[in-house]
């Protein structure tokens, strides 16, 4: 008893220290690039964690989460671009719309199980993507919406921030990450979370115990979709540009899933771990750091044919890395990194006994 | 009326190629119960193979099917033996993710080698057409590819129905355990099925390469279409996939003419959702638990 209490206190203290550290970062770090990386990391954790609620805990592996991400991003951006509605109001419209979309999708897709559910979720996201391309009057079609001018955020006449640096985005991102993690924690430790997990483990058994399958699946979907839409809105505002492939494409859905799969589905820290691996790795590839490192070590000469080829092409191929990672993780650690670490810890414990 | 007939004919012609893609996917699903999300990417590999053979050796894309088919068969067999075989008993989502990962590796490796530029394979007959009369004309490359598709499909039916190996494959699809008890080497059948599925997808890629843009991400569109076709026909049913392919071809070409070319894919997906909802076993499929 005492030991577990101590552990909880220790965990809480550790969490607070990390949070304080994260809060203090912009005071010491001025490099916009470093802040940009942190914001990308926050975004990735948000996306992964939102998927985790539906996919990890309730076991419904949607490969169509781009739908919610895109609806959030598009609603906020469209309202800001054509109606000059500031994003902190547009976000709510996005979330409201996403609830409607999610319930519509849920009523179709949750009648299906396993592979059929996956296919249906993809189809719905594709319908939304194609609609965004074709409804040119509303969404500006394939050209996308460019809106980089954010109005200053004021409370009672005093300007809180004018969004000129990356610092306000950093704090918004941090706030949203903490929010998603807290929501996941609350879900995990409530009756709701147990219902989700019961459905994941055995749908029929859960049903025979009196758990309303479709109700709880829809609740999981709505929570997951609203959080994903928040992430989408944040992405849209931060980048200042949305177009159908970058927010509604199948790649987005796969990427969202991947964060969880690599880190570990159905665990609170899995998406965080997954993001900590995926974001720096793909950024290193994108910004050609790997080629530069190879050149520095002397493995490849910068002017040789291979060096030039790598420099030109490796940055485009960061998705290749995703592919290799997925294959390796599925084949060798199907429970993700968290599962792998737990297994190791368990083995050590056993050996110690 | 001429417009209607015209779009009906081009729908059927393109539907033949779709059928080939769908049959490949349905064979793989039937034998292994694995949904192959890399199917479109395998098709894309077939397209690039054809492109390579055409530019390096100067062999006509329709003739090069003779090379593409066996090569893609070996490629599929390799994929099954090295990757898919390990997840046959894993959770459905892990199988799906594995094939998604394999597809990403394929498309991005191709992108590294060939860059993401659109490639066009121009033959002397790429834009030729034959006038049938009544104001209707048929695109020559589509017609040739349809004839080849029909021949391959007929040969495949013969193989599955009449040969011992074909019957063993069908037996494995019906009941893996029972087939194994009857002395069928189900592992070998799985390799053959995945090889055949890949060869069919690769061939489809070869057949459309004279009329389609060739680029590394082209597979995604075809993966989704292949699903629609197989679900429409009934997962695991070869006849269903043939019908489904032609039906989707017609739907697309009619949709493009009578509604708009931008919305034709939306129509296909809506049709797909309707089938999933109201007849999940598909047109020809038997309901399975």
CB contact under 8 A, B105 and A323: yes
Q: Which residue of B has its CA nearest to A133?
A: B262
Q: From CA B144, how far away is CA B139, in angstroms rounded?
A: 9
Nearest to B272 among A63, A123, A314 (CB): A123
- Candidates A326, A332, A333, A339, partner chain B, best to mutate (most B CBs within 10 A): A326
Greatest C-alpha distance within chain B: 59
Q: From CA A281, how far away is CA A273, in angstroms rounded?
A: 13
Decide if A256 contacts A95 (C-beta within 8 A): no
Mean pLDDT of B205-220: 87
Host domain of residue A231: 12-269
Q: Is A17 domain-assigned?
A: yes
Residue A323 forms contact with B (CB below 8 Å): yes
Q: What is the DSSP string of B15-47?
A: HHHHHHHHHHHHHHHHHH----TTHHHHHHHHH
- Shortest CA distance to A134 belongs to which of B260, B281, B43, B75? B260
The CATH number that applies at residue A258 is 1.10.3470
Q: From CA A153, how far away is CA A163, in angstroms rounded?
A: 8
Nearest to A120 among B90, B116, B273 (CB): B273
CB contact under 8 A, B111 and A134: no
Coil, strand or helix at B130: strand
Render pLDDT for A292-324 as a digit per residue (tens, 0 to 9).
777 777 666 666 777 777 766 666 666 787 788
Q: Is A1 domain-assigned?
A: no
Q: From CA B53, how far away is CA A42, in angstroms rounded?
A: 47
Q: From CA B6, how far away is CA B106, in angstroms rounded?
A: 36
Q: From CA B19, how far away is CA B248, in angstroms rounded?
A: 9
pTM: 0.85
Nearest to B269 among A123, A257, A323 (CB): A123
Residue A116 forms contact with B (CB below 8 Å): yes
Tokens 């080849």 map to which residue? B148
**Would you state the structure tokens that stand for residue B19, as one six-digit string?**
């059928």
Q: From CA B160, how far away is CA B170, in angstroms rounded?
A: 7
CB contact under 8 A, A118 and B35: yes
Q: From CA A289, how far away is CA A295, in angstroms rounded?
A: 10
CB contact under 8 A, A330 and B269: no
Render pLDDT for B40-73 as a digit per residue (tens, 0 to 9).
999 999 999 999 999 998 888 888 999 999 999 9
Q: Is A302 domain-assigned?
A: no
Q: Is A297 domain-assigned?
A: no
Decide if A317 contacts B111 (C-beta within 8 A): yes
Q: Is A109 domain-assigned?
A: yes
Residues of B in contact with A339 (CB under 8 A): none
What are the distances in angstroms from CA A178 to CA A159, A175, A318?
Answer: 25, 5, 28
Between residues B221 and A298, the one the model is more confident about? B221
**Interface residues of chain B, partner chain A, Cβ below 8 Å:** 35, 83, 86-87, 90-94, 96-98, 100-109, 111-112, 115-116, 220, 224, 227-228, 231, 260, 262-263, 265-266, 269-270, 272-273, 276-277, 280
Q: Strand A241-242 and strand A145-146: pairing?
A: antiparallel
Its sign, for the CA torsion B171, B177, B178, B182, is positive
Instruction: Give the list of residues 6+ apart from residue A61 with CB closer than 8 angstroms, or none.
Output: A55, A117, A118, A257, B93, B96
Residue A77 forms contact with B (CB below 8 Å): no
How far is CA A228 from its chain centroid? 7
Number of domains in chain A: 1
Q: Which residue of B has its CA nearest to A311?
A: B112
Residue A110 forms contact with B (CB below 8 Å): no
Residue A316 forms contact with B (CB below 8 Å): yes
B284: pLDDT strictly greater than 70? no
Burial grade of A30 (CB within 10 A; 0-12, 13-18, 19 or more): exposed
Residues of A in contact with B255 (CB under 8 A): none
Listed as ranges, residues in chain A with pLDDT below 50 are none
CB contact under 8 A, A254 and B104: yes
Nearest to A114 among B92, B220, B262 (CB): B92
B275/chain A closest Cα distance in angstroms:
10
Q: From CA A48, how far away is CA A42, in angstroms rounded?
A: 10
B288: pLDDT strictly greater than 50? no
Confidence of residue B111 (pLDDT cuts 50, 70, 90): confident
Q: From CA A183, how far away is CA B128, in angstroms rounded?
A: 61
Q: From CA A313, how far away is CA A306, in angstroms rounded?
A: 10
Mean pLDDT, chain B, integer: 86
Q: Is A296 domain-assigned?
A: no
CB contact under 8 A, B231 and A119: yes
Residue A299 forms contact with B (CB below 8 Å): no
Q: Is A73 domain-assigned?
A: yes
Q: From CA A320, how far away is CA A142, in angstroms rounded?
A: 25
DSSP B128: -
Confidence of residue B260 (pLDDT cuts 50, 70, 90): confident
The ipTM estimated for the assembled molecules is: 0.82
Least confident of A117-131, B86-100, B176-190: B86-100
Q: Is A42 domain-assigned?
A: yes
Decide if A180 contacts A46 (C-beta within 8 A): yes
Q: Facing residues of A340 across strands?
A: none
**Would you state the structure tokens that stand for residue A83, as one six-digit string?**
């109606």
Coil, strand or helix at A22: helix
């Amino acid at each position: 008893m005492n030991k577990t209490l101590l552990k909880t206190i220790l965990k809480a203290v550790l969490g607070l220290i990390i949070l304080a550290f994260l809060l203090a970062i912009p005071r010491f770090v001025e490099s916009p690039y470093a802040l940009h990386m942190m914001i990308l990391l926050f975004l990735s954790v948000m996306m992964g964690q939102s998927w985790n609620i539906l996919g990890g805990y309730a076991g419904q592996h949607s490969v169509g989460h781009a739908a919610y991400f895109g609806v959030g991003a598009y609603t906020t951006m469209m309202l800001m671009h054509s109606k000059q509605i500031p994003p902190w109001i547009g976000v709510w419209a996005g979330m409201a719309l996403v609830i409607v979309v999610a319930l519509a999708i849920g009523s179709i897709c949750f009648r299906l199980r396993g592979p059929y559910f996956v296919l249906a979720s993809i189809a719905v996201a594709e319908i939304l993507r194609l609609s965004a391309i074709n409804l040119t009057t509303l969404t500006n079609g394939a050209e996308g919406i460019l809106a980089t001018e954010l109005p200053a955020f004021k409370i009672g006449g005093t300007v809180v921030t004018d969004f000129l640096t990356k610092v306000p985005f950093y704090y918004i991102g941090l706030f949203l990450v903490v929010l998603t993690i807290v929501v996941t924690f609350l879900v995990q430790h409530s009756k709701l979370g147990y219902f989700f997990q019961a459905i994941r483990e055995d749908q029929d058994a859960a049903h025979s115990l009196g758990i309303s399958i479709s109700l709880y699946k829809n609740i999981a979907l709505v929570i997951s979709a609203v959080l994903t839409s928040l992430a989408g809105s944040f992405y849209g505002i931060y980048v200042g540009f949305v177009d159908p492939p970058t927010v509604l494409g199948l790649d987005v859905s796969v990427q969202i899933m991947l964060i969880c799969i690599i880190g570990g589905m159905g665990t609170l820290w899995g998406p965080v771990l997954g993001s900590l691996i995926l974001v720096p790795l793909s950024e290193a590839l994108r910004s050609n750091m790997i080629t530069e490192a190879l050149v520095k070590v002397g493995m490849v000469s910068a002017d040789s044919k291979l060096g030039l080829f790598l420099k030109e092409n490796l940055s485009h191929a960061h998705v290749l890395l995703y592919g290799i990672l997925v294959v390796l993780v599925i084949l060798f650690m199907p429970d993700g990194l968290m599962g792998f670490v737990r297994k190791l810890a368990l083995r050590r414990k056993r050996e110690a006994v | 009326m001429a417009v209607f007939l015209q779009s009906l004919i081009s729908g059927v012609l393109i539907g033949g190629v779709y059928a080939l893609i769908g049959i490949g996917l349905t064979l793989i699903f039937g034998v292994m119960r694995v949904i192959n999300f890399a199917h479109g990417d395998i098709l894309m590999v077939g397209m690039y193979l054809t492109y390579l053979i055409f530019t390096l050796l100067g062999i006509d894309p329709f003739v090069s099917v003779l090379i593409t088919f066996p090569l893609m068969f070996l490629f599929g067999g390799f994929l099954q033996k090295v990757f898919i075989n390990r997840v046959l008993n894993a959770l459905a989502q892990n199988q799906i993710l594995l094939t998604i990962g394999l597809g990403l590796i394929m498309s991005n490796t191709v992108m590294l080698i060939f860059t993401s530029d659109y490639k066009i394979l121009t033959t002397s007959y790429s834009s030729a057409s034959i006038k049938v009369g009544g104001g209707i004309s048929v695109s020559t490359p589509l017609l040739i590819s349809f004839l080849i598709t029909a021949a391959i499909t007929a040969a495949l039916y013969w193989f599955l129905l009449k040969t011992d190996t074909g019957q063993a494959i069908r037996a494995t699809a019906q009941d893996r355990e029972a087939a194994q008890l009857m002395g069928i080497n189900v592992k070998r059948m799985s390799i053959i099925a995945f090889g055949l599925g890949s060869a069919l997808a690769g061939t489809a890629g070869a057949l459309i390469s004279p009329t389609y843009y060739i680029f590394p991400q082209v597979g995604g569109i075809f993966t989704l279409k292949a699903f629609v076709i197989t679900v429409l026909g009934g997962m695991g049913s070869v006849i269903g996939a043939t019908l489904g392919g032609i039906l989707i071809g017609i739907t697309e070409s009619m949709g493009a003419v009578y509604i708009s070319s931008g919305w034709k894919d939306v129509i296909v997906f809506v049709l797909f959702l309707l089938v999933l909802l109201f007849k999940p076993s598909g047109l020809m499929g038997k309901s399975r638990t």
